[in-house]
A = this chain, B = another copy of it.
Amino acid sequence: MSFTLDRERFISAMKIQADIGGTANGGLHRLALSDEDKEIRDWFCEEMEAAGLSVRVDEFGNIFGRREGKRSIEPVLVGSHLDSQPYGGIYDGALGTVAALEFIRELNDRGIETERPIEIVNWTNEEGSRFQPTLQGSGVWAGVLDLAEQYATTDEEGVSVEAELERIGYKGEVPAEPHEQYDSYLELHVEQGPYLEENGMDVGVVTGIVGLTWGAISFHGEANHSGATPMHHRNDAMVGAADVITQVRRTPNSLGDRTVGTVGFIDAKPNSINIVPEEVTFTYGFRDPDASILEQAKTEVLREAENAAEREGLTWEHEDRAEADPVFFPDRCVDAVEGAASELGYDSMRIFSGGVHDATHAHKVCDSGMVFAVSEGGKSHTEEEFTSWDDCYSAATTLATAVLTLAKDEA
């Protein structure tokens, strides 16, 4: 049973949202709880009301729109997020949210009544760039993050999430928690990686989300004159850092074909051309679908840090920054997405998500699944992010068809 959407109206809605916070280079700058975020939220609520949905905003700003089913049973939840990275792309998050809205409109146009109620959702602050952590709204909703703690998180100017929710009028009355049992959660998102395009696919069937292990390492050596200090007298923290950065680049090769490792952040002290670095702190991060590989990658990096410290005469310390187990979506959700792509005649492949998504947290509340749209060149979190309208539409119809399958209540 395939289900198609009004392609023109869908693309038109994508363009409307892309104008709210749109940048001169065709990207999107719509930081969580900014004026632009308020504007897109207002638009989203108006469109939901126009589509006859009953709209509610929870106390953390997550926005839900409900369409009742034939029966009063567990609803299917579908959506994503409307906030963006600083100077990010127009597809990340918005594509999944707009597709959910368009799905509802099409159901209305065709006068279709589903067995299960359907709710569509826009999660607060998925990106985690203005306020940390990422996945903040879905995390609070799923009970993974504490409401009071998250209210108190602040941006670089010291403005809190709670104050901004109040300012833009999106601190709702409803508790930020599942108000009932959900049947399932489905999310469409851009892949943010190159695999679908490389394999010539129309759409991706997401089977899970990689786990991650993040940490920070600091080496402590001795600041000294860069001219008068012989090499064998040096305790150069920068040299230790370089050794571990190289190890982080090398480790994935020996562990798994989906393992990735990154040193994204580095800070040196005193950071002067003329002084041997006394202290260098840097982060590392590994992701993999297999928790045991993450453990092994971390072990190898800490061993290299110990070896580098020994060689260079440094002391060092390690701080855990984040750990997340891999998520495996249940067969019924994966099958619903795969079946939908097949019925629509799309070439699809099963794929593990390299990035985290709101589905990571929703999965703790109910069975979850995801659809991936092609990301041209795998570019993400940049204004150059691109997905063709064909690929947007393929993914959106796959989502719609999969939700309809789940909403049938065949159990």
Which A residues have a C-beta under 8 Å from some C-beta of B? 134, 191-195, 210, 212, 214, 223-231, 233, 236, 238-239, 241-243, 245-246, 249, 252-253, 258-268, 271-277, 280, 283, 285, 287, 321, 353-356, 375, 378-382
Contacts and interface: CB of A to CB of B under 8 A. Distances in A.
A210 B230 CA distance: 13
20 contacts: A192-B228, A194-B229, A195-B230, A214-B273, A226-B264, A228-B355, A228-B375, A230-B378, A231-B252, A231-B261, A238-B245, A238-B264, A239-B246, A239-B249, A242-B243, A242-B246, A262-B275, A264-B271, A264-B275, A266-B280
Contact of A226 (B229, B285, B379): B285
A271 B266 contact: yes
A210 B227 contact: yes
Contact of A355 (B227, B268, B276, B277): B227
B268 A274 contact: no
Contacts of A272: 264-265
A265 B238 CA distance: 9
B268 A266 contact: yes
Contacts of A378: 224-225, 228-230, 233
Nearest to A239: B249
A260 B227 contact: yes
B274 A264 contact: yes
The 6 A-B residue pairs whose C-beta atoms are closest, nearest first, are: A193-B228, A228-B354, A242-B245, A192-B228, A227-B354, A226-B262
B224 A380 contact: yes
A130 B245 CA distance: 32
A380 B228 contact: yes
A193 to B, nearest CB: 4
Given A193-B233, A242-B242, A266-B268, 11 more contacts: A210-B227, A224-B378, A228-B353, A230-B258, A239-B263, A242-B245, A243-B246, A264-B276, A264-B277, A266-B266, A275-B381
Contacts of A134: 274
A245 B272 CA distance: 15
A36 B263 CA distance: 42
A379 B259 CA distance: 44
Contacts of A224: 378-382
A360 to B, nearest CB: 11
Contact of A236 (B258, B262, B287, B380): B262
A245 B239 contact: yes
A174 to B, nearest CB: 31
A260 B262 CA distance: 30
Contacts of A236: 249, 262
A292 B224 CA distance: 25
A262 B234 CA distance: 10
Contacts of A249: 231, 236, 239, 242
A119 to B, nearest CB: 27
Given A238-B264, A246-B242, A273-B321, A193 B381 contact: no
Contacts of A239: 245-246, 249, 263
Contacts of A274: 134, 262, 264, 285
A397 to B, nearest CB: 23
Contacts of A381: 223-225, 275
Contacts of A243: 242, 246
Given A242-B242, A242-B246, A266-B238, A230 B260 contact: yes
Contacts of A271: 264-267
